[in-house]
Amino acid sequence: MNTRKIILSIIGVLLIIGAFYGANLIIDSKKTFTPKAQKVVKTVFAETVQNSDVAIIVPANGNLVAKNRVELYAEVQGVFKRGNKLFKTGETFRSGETIISIDASEYAASVQSAKSNLYNQLTAIMPDLRLDYPDLFPKWQSYLTGFDLNKSTPELPEMVSEKEKFFISGRGILTTYYNVKNLEQRLSKYRISAPFNGVLTETLVTEGTLVRSGQKLGEFINTDVYELEVAVSKNFSDLLKIGENVELSSLGENKKYVGKVARINGSVDQASQTIKAFIEVKNSDLREGMYLEANLDARNETDAIEVDRGLLLEGDKIFVVRDTILDLIDVKPVYFTEKKVVLKDVPNGTVIVSKPILGAYTGMAVRIYEDESTNTDK
């Protein structure tokens, strides 16, 4: 038994020694591999700078307003009479055509009475003129002969001498004459005629309505010419010129119109620091109130380039590529739009990054997209 235990003990010790030795062999035979760091080279889009003249376009917008418009007001009181055309929105009238007629029969009678009184006074002085001033008689006789009570009172003959003026004025003819002309002038206000070809855009009364003095009756516009009022930054107020053509476009449509700068306001809005310009445009498709967008040609910036605003970094810098390495250069921005920026002081031949790079930094290794395409083709 003792021999057997000794043999088993020896075998166990040998197994332990063998296992330990085998483990050491396995540990010694294991090799450690360190991964090799790979240099990451990003592909970028780039372009070579070639400075040129960049047209600075100032965007603006607004609503069309008729250049010629009239607000119709009553200067007299009376009943609105029905005319040849309805006084309704959209009704068109030609220049000189009656838009509104107010019943003036009572007032017209008083005008005729005053004219008759003037005629009687002229008739009464004729015998005295023949006797005292025979040289003046033919002139006044001719005037009296042409006097028509159914027509507008003609202008009095020219009085060249002091004695003629004293004689006519002393008989009260001048006072009566100017009173008649005043009444005739007021009588003309009972009829409102179209000052130009146009259309009614607003009507506030109907036929048979009692119209009161000072009451607004409607609005009348000319549909041939419209104006677009736009607000432009004061920095470009001295660059806009009257008569310059402006491209206009309607919102949501592909229609283009051509207008021209008609007027420029001389004062700057203190709140917005903008100046108002008025663009005149003619087109049969246009309507008052339409919303249009305008592109104003403010000026040409020489020796400049235009790039995306996202490429301009803080401190007025942009990324350039120098021998496959990114670098920064200083630039001078001169004009910003919603998506673009105009830059100066970028030397010709400089390779600039044309699209933003995520995580870009100075010294970063890059590969230009065009070069990569060429190598792939080869």
Q: Please give the distance of CA 160 from its chain centroid, rounded to a whole number.
A: 57
Q: Indicate the pTM of the whole model.
A: 0.63
- CA angle, 239 as apex, 267 and 245 as ends, to 5°? 105
Tokens 């100017």 sit at which residue? 178
Lowest mean pLDDT among 73-77, 82-86, 299-303, 349-353: 299-303
Sequence-separated (6 or more) residues with CB below 8 Å from residue 261: 240, 241, 242, 243, 244, 246, 277, 278, 279, 280, 296
* pLDDT higher than threshold 70 for residue 48: yes
The class (CATH top level) of 44-55+302-377 is mainly beta
CA atoms 343, 346, 348, 354: torsion sign: negative
Which DSSP letter does residue 331 get? -
Both tokens of 261, joined, read: 């700068």
Q: Model confidence over 182-212: pLDDT tens digits? A: 999 999 999 999 999 999 999 999 888 899 9
Q: Model confidence over 288-306: pLDDT tens digits? A: 988 888 877 767 788 888 8
* pLDDT higher than threshold 90 for residue 227: yes
Using H for helix, E for strand and C for coil, what is the string for 133-167? CCCCHHHHHHHHHCCCCCCCCCCCCCCCCHHHHHH
Q: Model confidence over 7-21: pLDDT tens digits? A: 777 777 777 777 777
Tell me: domain 69-103+190-221, CATH 3.30.1370.60, correct? Answer: no
Q: Model confidence over 119-142: pLDDT tens digits? A: 999 999 998 888 888 888 899 999
Supply the pLDDT for residue 371. 47
Beta bridge mates, 305:
343
Intrachain domains 58-66+223-299 and 69-103+190-221 with the same fold? no
Question: What's the distance, Cα to Cα, between the start and end of the chain in Å?
Answer: 85
Please report, as a single letter, which amino acid is at residue 41: V
**What does the domain layout of the chain look like in residue ranges?**
44-55+302-377, 58-66+223-299, 69-103+190-221, 106-188
Answer whether 74's CB lies under 8 Å from 210's CB: no
- Out of 3.20.20.70, 2.40.30.170, 2.60.40.790, 3.40.50.300, the CATH code matching 58-66+223-299 is 2.40.30.170
